[in-house]
């Protein structure tokens, strides 16, 4: 029994089953099988015979124990395709080979994609040529312009903010709402500040898509009762970009609506201290202060908790920076001589006089910052950025009893806005010089100025920002001649 085996009946046409065989018979049958393999499949090239490539043969045989019919299907390793399918494959292969011949090299592989700028179609928005330009514009111009003073003074700070812009861009492109909001803000600045004409209302298009996405987002929040810090930060970021887009487009009523929405979301976040990213806090406040400066209205968002714990905007970071600020020469201050005389004589209200001195300190440090080392310039740039936000926030919130003091306050806001932003003189002059002209027209030209020299400074500032050959410039110069 040790030499007996049960081997499958291999003869074609016989009954299926097992039969007892001995060891010699097993060796004989194995040699038969190997000979058949060598006969049908030569060792050089695998070429199955045409007979085996036909449709699978179905043999019906009668079983051992019942006479039932069983089907033994002999399947081939290759199945021929219908002629129609083979023709389609041949046509597609020829078309593919023709398209490959047109490629100039591996660098042109994106030509066969639907979108060379987004070959995998993984982003939530369509990136066409204009949207791609906006993404580059956001990284290279838009975000660095928020910290323009730091970029001018310190190259290290400029590089840091560029990297932060890249990270913000990457995060925004993972979400359709944030992507449309970011594109709307970049498009508004691209068109209304840099003067690029897209030919169509692309800013309005992005804003409409962003508003639809915001409604859907809020519906989901109310439906699922989700209230987390991540959702609030996502909503706040989208509102900030929409607010900025409306501000660049001079739609200050719509911008004020978005600012109120941002204030409500900030309350849910726990105030400015609830925003973990310091760069986002600074960007939000810079946008809010700039929009209110153009609208000449008090800021509705308080500055409580906008700096890291233990830091103060009034205090420099290091002792070296503090000594540079304290040892500066007051005689070289960038303040009009007539304005300093009025402050010394006590003719300017005390709250406004202290703010004027702070404006002078900030601008003096800015003008003297280029003479120091890189580390000191970086600290001075941070101090100037924080002082700019603090001073303009207090200037906008200050209430003066007389119209002349309010005109002087407006002139200081115009002065700091033109110095601390990169919105361009044409953009600033279009709005702020016109508001300055309206304020001066509300009272008699002879009585509004506190002194002739101060009046000439305010009028010349407005005329300089108004632009050449404009009606506002001509009117301001005419009033300057009247004052003498």
pTM here is: 0.70
CB-side neighbour CA atoms (13 Å) of 136: 8
Contact 351, 399 (CB under 8 A): no
Q: Which two tokens stand for residue 243?
A: 């607010």
Take residue 56 and report the two structure tokens written for it.
């699978």
CA distance 390 to 387: 5
Q: Where are the domains of the chain?
A: 4-63, 129-295, 319-483
CA distance 258 to 248: 13
Q: Are 286 and 146 in contact (CB under 8 A)?
A: yes
Rounded CA-CA distance 135/173 in Å is 10
Q: What is the pLDDT along the chain (484 residues), one digit of tens a residue?
A: 444 444 444 444 444 444 555 666 656 666 655 555 444 444 444 444 444 444 444 444 444 444 444 444 444 444 444 444 344 445 544 544 444 444 445 445 444 445 556 655 667 788 888 888 898 899 888 888 888 877 777 766 666 777 778 888 888 888 899 999 999 999 999 988 887 776 667 888 999 999 998 988 888 777 665 667 778 888 999 999 999 999 988 888 999 999 999 998 888 888 888 888 888 888 899 999 999 988 888 998 988 877 765 566 666 567 777 777 776 666 666 666 667 777 777 778 888 888 888 888 887 888 777 777 777 888 888 888 888 898 999 999 988 777 778 888 888 888 888 888 877 666 776 778 888 888 888 776 555 656 677 777 888 888 888 876 678 888 888 887 776 6
Q: Is 8 helix (H, G, I), strand (E, B) or coil?
A: strand
């Amino acid at each position: 029994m040790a030499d007996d085996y049960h081997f499958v009946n291999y003869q074609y046409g016989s009954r299926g089953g097992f039969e007892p065989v001995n060891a010699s018979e097993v060796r004989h049958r194995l040699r038969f099988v190997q000979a058949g393999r060598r006969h049908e499949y030569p060792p050089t090239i695998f070429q199955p015979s045409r007979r085996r490539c036909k449709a699978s043969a179905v043999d019906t045989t009668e079983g051992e124990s019942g006479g039932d019919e069983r089907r033994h299907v002999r399947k081939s390793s290759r199945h021929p395709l219908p002629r129609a399918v083979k023709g389609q494959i041949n046509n597609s292969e020829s078309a593919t080979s023709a398209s490959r011949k047109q490629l100039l090299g591996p660098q042109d592989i994106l030509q066969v994609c639907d979108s060379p700028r987004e070959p995998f179609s993984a982003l939530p928005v369509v990136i066409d040529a204009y949207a791609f330009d906006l993404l580059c514009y956001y990284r290279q111009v838009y975000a660095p312009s928020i910290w323009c003073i730091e970029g001018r003074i310190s190259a290290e700070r400029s590089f840091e903010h560029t990297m932060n812009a890249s990270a913000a861009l990457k995060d925004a492109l993972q979400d359709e709402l944030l992507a449309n909001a970011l594109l709307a803000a970049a498009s508004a600045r691209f068109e209304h500040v840099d003067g690029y004409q897209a030919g169509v209302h692309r800013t309005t298009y992005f804003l409409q898509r962003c508003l639809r996405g915001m409604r859907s987002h809020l519906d989901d929040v109310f439906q699922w009762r989700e209230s987390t810090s991540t959702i609030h930060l996502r909503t706040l970021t989208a509102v900030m970009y929409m607010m900025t887009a409306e501000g660049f487009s001079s739609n200050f009523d719509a911008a004020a609506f978005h600012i109120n929405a941002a204030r409500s979301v900030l309350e849910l976040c726990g105030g400015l201290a609830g925003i973990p990213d310091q760069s986002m806090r600074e960007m939000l406040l810079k946008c809010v202060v700039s929009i209110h400066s153009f609208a000449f209205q008090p800021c509705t968002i308080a500055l409580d908790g906008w700096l890291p714990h233990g830091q103060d905007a009034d205090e420099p970071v290091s002792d070296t920076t503090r000594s540079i600020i304290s040892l500066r020469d007051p005689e070289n201050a960038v303040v009009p001589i007539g304005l300093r005389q009025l402050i010394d004589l006590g003719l300017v209200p005390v709250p406004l006089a202290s703010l004027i001195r702070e404006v002078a300190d900030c601008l003096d440090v800015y003008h003297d910052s280029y003479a120091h080392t890189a580390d000191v310039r970086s600290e001075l740039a941070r101090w100037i950025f924080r002082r700019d936000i603090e001073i303009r926030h207090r200037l906008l919130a200050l209430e003066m009893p007389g119209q002349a003091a309010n005109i002087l306050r407006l002139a200081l806001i115009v002065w700091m806005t033109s110095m601390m932003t990169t919105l361009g003189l044409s953009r600033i002059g279009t709005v702020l010089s016109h508001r300055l002209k309206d304020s001066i027209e509300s009272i008699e030209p002879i009585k509004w100025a506190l002194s002739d020299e101060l009046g000439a400074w305010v009028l010349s500032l407005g005329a300089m920002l108004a632009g050449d050959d404009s009606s506002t410039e001509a009117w301001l110069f005419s009033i300057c001649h009247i004052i003498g």
